[in-house]
Amino acid sequence: MKKTTNGNGESKIRKVIFNELTLIIAMVSLVSGVIFWVTSPQTETEIRIVKLESQIEHNQTVVEALEKIKNNDFIELHLKMDQIESRQIEILQAMAAIQQQLSTIE
Q: What is the DSSP string of 45-67?
A: HHHHHHHHHHHHHHHHHHHHHHH
Contact of 11 with 5, CB cutoff 8 Å: yes
Q: DSSP letter at 2? A: P
**Per-residue pLDDT reduced to its tens digit, 17-49:** 888 999 999 999 999 988 888 888 888 889 999
**Single-letter residue type at 71:** N
User: What's this model's pTM, rounded to 2 decimal places?
Assistant: 0.48
**Per-residue pLDDT reduced to its tens digit, 8-18:** 556 888 888 88
